[in-house]
Amino acid sequence: MRQYNQTKRILVTGGAGFLGSHLCERLVSQGHDVLCLDNFFTGSRRNVEHLLDSPRFELMRHDVTFPLYVEVDEIYNLACPASPIHYQYDPVQTTKTSVHGAINMLGLAKRVRAKILQASTSEVYGDPEVHPQPESYWGRVNPIGPRSCYDEGKRCAETLFFDYYRQHRLRIKVVRIFNTYGPRMHPNDGRVVSNFIVQALNGEDITIYGNGSQTRSFCYVDDLIEAMDRTMNTPDDFTGPVNIGNPGEFSMLELAEQVIALTGSRSKLRHLPLPTDDPKQRCPDSSLAKAALGGWEPQVPLAEGLKRTIEYFDALLARER
């Protein structure tokens, strides 16, 4: 690894996506040289166009299922569709992105002796029997269901990361991301926050799956990126996995009510059947993150984060009208 100055060359795969674009923005602002990699399946050039004039930012179209030969100091591996609509569109490719992508990025990290972080997911816990979910919980995942391409792909990627750590002494970090929301979410990704906001702004019925009692925790994107950055900069003997999310827990009905109130919408609730293998509860035990990441805790309350996200979608929908 280069030692001649403090500026690092950092690769972000999936860098034009929702989370990746915010991460690229942060790293550029810190003075690092950022190589943003994306195949634009769910990512968008628009998410990073404000960075294109920076001499510290480079955008490359590439699919992580193919090998990559570049020189970098650190790698953030975020490449993979993360919403059911997108990852179920081509489930075989979703698994390839998680597994082949991990193999290719780990191989690159091994060759150039880079530190590498894997963006894993709370989906590795499946429909949990333990609540809230600590990192020690092995999960309850259906290996052959419609969500398995994502759930098991991410679980296999974690396996690969820890095998490279044990076998090759690679410097790894693994974060398990819980529901995150904020500006630059894809408006049609089918995730609950974007769904509710877009439906409310358009005056459409808000679709609730099941009776709405199922719960999620919602972490604003700025808090997530802060935790991810801190994780990459922990001592080498800290590998994770570490849960990154907001321990505040809300039902789908509570979320819908907040969105309707904040948008001033007259939308009504419409209940639909619960999707296969949809978890009834999802909430992180975030005690390890607080202990290992310098006292990290989410700072943005749900109401404030929703206001910022609503403003983003309101402007986006206005441009498209």
Q: Which residues are catalytic?
A: 150
CA dihedral 124, 181, 29, 42 (to 10 degrees): 70
Q: Could you give the C-alpha distances from 208 to 52, 197, 212, 259, in angstroms and in order?
A: 39, 13, 6, 13
For the record, the structure tokens of 61 come out as: 């179209």
Tell me how many degrees the CA angle 76-135-185 measures, rounded to the nearest 5.
45
- Cα–Cα dist 293/226, whole Å: 10
Q: Quick one: tokens of 42?
A: 């769910």
Tokens matching residue 25: 């923005």
**Cα distances (angstroms) measured from residue 306 to each of 17, 85, 97, 183, 231:** 19, 22, 30, 9, 25
Pairing of strands 74-77, 180-181: unpaired
| Integer Cα distance of 291 and 293 in angstroms | 6
- How far apart, in whole angstroms, are the C-alpha atoms of residue 85 and residue 268? 23
> Do 83 and 192 form a contact (C-beta atoms < 8 A)?
no
Burial of 253 (0-12, 13-18, 19+ CB in 10 A): middle
